[in-house]
Structure 1
C-alpha cells in the first residue's frame, strides 16, 4: 500500500460528519482571521497623517480669516493657475519663509494618531513612509522564513511564534512610540510573521478536511479577514485615540496565544515526518468529536508504517528553463508588481480622506474586497482567466486616472464621486489578485507550482516596499503623479494578461 493513500484512508474514516472541522474553522478561519486582520493592520490607521497646517496666531475679529492666513502662510503652485497654502512653511517676523515650528491638526475625525502626537509631518513624514516600507520588507522575509519553518518544524509551533511576535512587536511600539527607532523595531517584529498564523490554521484545516471542503477554506479566511478590515476603522472611529485603539485590537490575540498549546498539530504533517503515534492520537481526537472511529486495521497499518515521505524540491531557475516558460513567468511577475503596487497604495491611503468620513471610506473600500473574491471566481469561470485579468486592470487604470485629477476638480460632491471610484478600484484590484493567484496555480505544473508562488510573493513583497514612496510622491507633489505611475502599471498588468495562456478549459500545464 502506498503511504499517502494510507493517511487519506485514515482521514476518510474520521471525517464523515466533519463536525470537528467546522468547529475548528469557526474558531480559527473565521474568528481568528477577523481579529488577526485588525491586530496586524491596526498600525496602518494609527500611522495616518491627518490634515495639518502651521500654527499661526488667531486672527483679529476685524480681519478676514483667509486674508490673515495669507499674511502668515506662503502658497505653493499646484498646476496651471491653481495654488494651495503650504502645510510646512510660514513667514517669520521679518517676512522670510521658514519651516513651521508648531502644527495644528484637524481633529474632526481622528483625536490622535502617531504622526500627530509626535509631529511626524513635513520632512519627518519620511519616518512614516520608511516604517511602512520596512514593514513590507519584514513581511516578505518573514513569509519566506516562516513558510520553510512551518514545513520543517510544524504548523502549531509556527502559529504560536507568529502570535507571540505580533503581540510583542505591538507592545513595544505602543510603549515606545516617542522613539522612532524603537517604535520601528516593534513594527518590524510585528510584521515579521506576516500572515503565517492564518496560513498555518488554514493549512491544518485543509489537511484534516475532505476534498469537497478544501476549496472553501481559503475563501472563508479571506472573507473573514476583509470583515476584520471593515470593522477596524469603525472601532477607531468610536475610540479615536490611537494608543487605546492599538491596545484594544492587539489584546484580542492574547486568548489565542495563551491557549495556543491546545491547538492540534496537523496530523498530515506528523505523518509525513514519521511521527505516526502522534498522528494517530490526533485523528482519534477528531474522530471522537465526529462520532466515528479509526478502524483497528488502519491503526495497525499506521503504527507499522516506516516509509519515508519526501517531496522533490525545485528552485526558481527551473521557471526560466525554456523560452515559453520564461515568458510566462516574466509576464506573471509584471502582473504581481502591478497589482501589488495598486493594492498597497490603495490600502495605505484608505483612511486619509479629509472632506468625508475617513473611517467609512476605509470600511467601504475593505468591504469591496468581499464581492471581489466572489466576482473573481465567477468571471474567471465564465469569461476566462485572461480576459478577467485584462478587464480588472483596465478598470483600475481608468480609476487611477480619475483619482489623479482630484486636485484639479472643484465641482460639488467630488469627494463622494471619488469614494465610489476608490471602492470600485479596490474591487477590481481584488479581482486581479484572485486571478494572478489562480493563474499561478493552473499555468505551472505541480512540481513548479510552489516555486512559482514563492517567486511571485517575493517580487510582490519588493513592490509593496516601494508602494509607500509612490504614496509619498502624491503627498509631496500632488496625487496626479502617483496616480499616473499606478495607471501606467495597471496598463502593464493589462498587456501582460493578454500575453498569458487561457487556462479556463484545462487545469493543467499548457506548455
Structure 2
C-alpha cells in the first residue's frame, strides 16, 4: 500500500540516532515519569490501619486492659483468632454491652502520614467509597481506551498524546483540590484515567512507525522497563514526602514540561502519508534525516506528493474480530487473558501498598523491581519456548503462588507464616504476572491481522480495565469478610489462564496474518510456513534468518 513511504523511511534511516534518542526520551524516561503520575492515586488511596480513638487512659491501667474495656471483640474466621473491632466502641462499658460506631478514629501513621481515606474517614462502612473510586476510574479507562484509539487514528498521534497528557494533569489537579467533596474527587480520578495508556501508546506507535521491524521488540522492552522503573521509584517518593497531597502535586508536576513542549514531538510521518498530507509527511521525514545525517531523495519526495495511500475501513470494524469461528475464539481467549492478568496484577499492587506487617514502600519497590528481570525473562521464554508455553508457564507459576497465599492466610502451615515467605510469594507472583503481560502483548501484535490490530489492542485495553475494576472489591472483601478470598479467586482465574494460553495458536517464527482472511485460517494445520520472526532486544543486532 505504501511502498513509497517505506522507501522514504529507508532513505532517512530506520535505525539511526533519531530513533534511538526518541526511544530513550519517550519510551523510557517519559514512560517512567508518566507511570508515577498515572499510578500515584493507588498509594494516595491506601487505607492505613485504624481503630476507634479511646478516652484518656489512667496511668495505673495497661493499654490492653483499657482497650478491652472499650472495644468489643469478634472471632475472625479466616485467622481463627479473636480480634478487636475497628469500627465499634462500647457506649457505656460499665452498664451494658451496647455499642455504637466510632465518633473519632485513630490512625497508625508509622509509614503514611496521610492518605485520602484517612483524611476523610473513608473507612468502616465508607470503605466501599475507595473501591468505587477505582472501579469508576477503570470503567472510564475502558471507555477512554476505545475513544482515544479511534481518536489517534483520525486526528493523529501527536494530538492524541497532547490531549491525553492534558487530561491526566487536569484530573490529578482536580482530585487534589476537591478531596473533601467525594463526587468531585471521583470526577478528577476518572478524568485522569480516562485516556488510559494513550499517552505512552501514542509515543510507542510513533516510534514503531518510524523504525525498522527488527526494532519493535526493543521499543516494547524499553517501554516496559520505563514503566517498571517508575513503579520502583513511586513508593520511595511517597515514603520521603509522607503527605498524599504533596506527593500528588510533585509527581504530577513532572508531566508539565512534556505538556508544555508537546508541540515538539514528532507526528507519525506514516500516519500523515496515509491521511493524504504529503507536505507534512515530508517535513517530518526531513526532521529524521537531519538528525540521522541522511537525505530524502528528490525523486522519492516527488513521488510522495504524487502518490496517494489507499485507506482501509476494516480498522473501524471491531466486530470483524468475531467474523469467523477461529478468529472469534482467538479473540475471546486473548480478551480473557487481558482481564485475568490485569485482575491479578492490580490485586498485587493494592495488597503491597496496604502491607501492615512491614515497610509498605519497600515492599512495593521490591515487587516492582521484579518486573525488570521479568521483561527479559519473558522475551527469552517467548523466543525459546514459544508464546504459548511461555504464557502457560507464567500463568501456572502465578496460580501456584495464589494457592500458597491462600494457605498462608488459612494459617495451617508454620513455614508459610514466615515474613520472608509472604514477600517471596508476592515477588515471584509479580514476576510471573509481568511475563504473562509480555506474552499477551506479543499475542496481540502477532495474532490480529494488520488491518484490525489497533482495534484488537483497544478491545484488550477495555477488558484489561474491566479486570482491574474488580480488584478493589476483592480487596474490600479481604478486609471486611475473609482474607482468603483473593487467593482462592485468583487461583481459579490464573489456572483458567493457563488453559486459555495453550488453546491459542503458536506465533513464534510464523508468517503472520495480514488480512482478516489470513487471521481466519491462522494456526490451522501447517498451512502457514514458518519463517524468521524473532524477538531482538539489541537494537544494533539484525535478526537471523533460518533457511
Query: Which band: TM-score by shorter chain?
Result: over 0.9
In terms of mean alpha carbon deviation, does 149-158 or 279-288 score higher?
Answer: 279-288
| Aligned counterparts of 1:307 and 1:439: Cα–Cα separation in 2 | 28
Deviation string 1:265-312 (CA, Å, 9 cap, x unpaired) is: 111111111110111111112211211111111122122234543353
Shift of 1:480: 0.3
The correspondence for 2:214, drawn from 202, 205, 212, is: 212
CA gap of 1:338–1:214, structure 2 versus 1, over 3 A, is closer
In terms of mean alpha carbon deviation, does 80-89 or 464-473 score higher?
Answer: 80-89
Report matched runs for 1:351-390 at 5 Å. Answer: 351-390=353-392
SS of residue matched to 2:109: coil
| Aligned counterparts of 1:153 and 1:445: Cα–Cα separation in 2 | 22
| Aligned counterparts of 2:277 and 2:451: Cα–Cα separation in 1 | 25
Contact 1:204-1:266 within 8 A present in 2 as well: yes
Q: Which residue of 2 aligns with 1:175?
A: 177
- Tell me if 1:71 matches 2:69: yes
Deviation string 1:211-253 (CA, Å, 9 cap, x unpaired) is: 3322211211111011001000001111111111110000011
| Aligned counterparts of 2:293 and 2:335: Cα–Cα separation in 1 | 47
CA gap of 1:313–1:24, structure 2 versus 1, over 3 A, is closer
Shift of 1:101: 1.3
Q: Which residue of 2 aligns with 1:188?
A: 190
**Structure 1: runs of 5 or more not aligned:** none
Contact 1:284-1:293 within 8 A present in 2 as well: yes
CA gap of 1:60–1:414, structure 2 versus 1, over 3 A, is farther
Contact 1:16-1:290 within 8 A present in 2 as well: no
Q: Which residue of 2 aligns with 1:254?
A: 256
The alignment's C-alpha RMSD in Å is 2.0
SS of residue matched to 1:27: helix
| Aligned counterparts of 1:158 and 1:354: Cα–Cα separation in 2 | 40
- Tell me if 1:268 matches 2:266: no
CA gap of 1:488–1:263, structure 2 versus 1, over 3 A, is same
SS of residue matched to 2:356: coil
In terms of mean alpha carbon deviation, does 182-191 or 318-327 score higher?
Answer: 318-327
| Aligned counterparts of 1:290 and 1:221: Cα–Cα separation in 2 | 22
SS of residue matched to 1:76: strand
- Tell me if 1:510 matches 2:510: no
Q: Which residue of 2 aligns with 1:497?
A: 501
- Tell me if 1:432 matches 2:430: no
Contact 1:274-1:308 within 8 A present in 2 as well: no
CA gap of 1:499–1:202, structure 2 versus 1, over 3 A, is closer
Report matched runs for 1:379-418 at 5 Å. Answer: 379-409=381-411, 414-418=418-422
Q: Which residue of 1 aligns with 2:304?
A: 302
Report matched runs for 1:219-298 at 5 Å. Answer: 219-298=221-300
SS of residue matched to 2:179: coil
Shift of 1:11: 0.9
**Structure 2: runs of 5 or more not aligned:** 513-521, 525-547
Shift of 1:16: 6.5
| Aligned counterparts of 1:104 and 1:230: Cα–Cα separation in 2 | 30
SS of residue matched to 1:349: helix
CA gap of 1:55–1:133, structure 2 versus 1, over 3 A, is same
Give the alignment's TM-score, normalised by structure 1.
0.95
SS of residue matched to 1:313: helix
In terms of mean alpha carbon deviation, does 242-251 or 77-86 score higher?
Answer: 77-86
| Aligned counterparts of 1:183 and 1:128: Cα–Cα separation in 2 | 11
Contact 2:235-2:365 within 8 A present in 1 as well: yes
Deviation string 1:425-454 (CA, Å, 9 cap, x unpaired) is: 111111112222222333344444444333
How many residues are treated as equivalent by the alignment?
509
Shift of 1:160: 0.8
Q: Which residue of 1 aligns with 2:17?
A: 19
Give the alignment's TM-score, normalised by structure 2.
0.89
The correspondence for 1:475, drawn from 473, 479, 483, is: 479
| Aligned counterparts of 1:315 and 1:346: Cα–Cα separation in 2 | 35
- Tell me if 1:350 matches 2:363: no
Deviation string 1:99-155 (CA, Å, 9 cap, x unpaired) is: 111111111111111111111111111111100111111111111111110110011
CA gap of 1:154–1:449, structure 2 versus 1, over 3 A, is closer
- Tell me if 1:423 matches 2:427: yes
Q: Which residue of 1 aligns with 2:541?
A: none
Q: Which residue of 1 aligns with 2:89?
A: 90
The correspondence for 2:202, drawn from 200, 219, 231, is: 200
| Aligned counterparts of 1:90 and 1:31: Cα–Cα separation in 2 | 50
In terms of mean alpha carbon deviation, does 157-166 or 399-408 score higher?
Answer: 399-408
Deviation string 1:174-204 (CA, Å, 9 cap, x unpaired) is: 0111111111111111111111111111111
Shift of 1:498: 3.1
CA gap of 1:279–1:347, structure 2 versus 1, over 3 A, is same
CA gap of 1:156–1:503, structure 2 versus 1, over 3 A, is closer
CA gap of 1:364–1:507, structure 2 versus 1, over 3 A, is farther
CA gap of 1:179–1:324, structure 2 versus 1, over 3 A, is same
Contact 2:111-2:360 within 8 A present in 1 as well: yes
- Tell me if 1:48 matches 2:52: no
- Tell me if 1:125 matches 2:138: no
In terms of mean alpha carbon deviation, does 451-460 or 82-91 score higher?
Answer: 451-460
| Aligned counterparts of 2:14 and 2:317: Cα–Cα separation in 1 | 38
Shift of 1:505: 4.8
| Aligned counterparts of 2:509 and 2:276: Cα–Cα separation in 1 | 39
The correspondence for 1:8, drawn from 6, 9, 16, is: 6
Contact 1:372-1:428 within 8 A present in 2 as well: yes
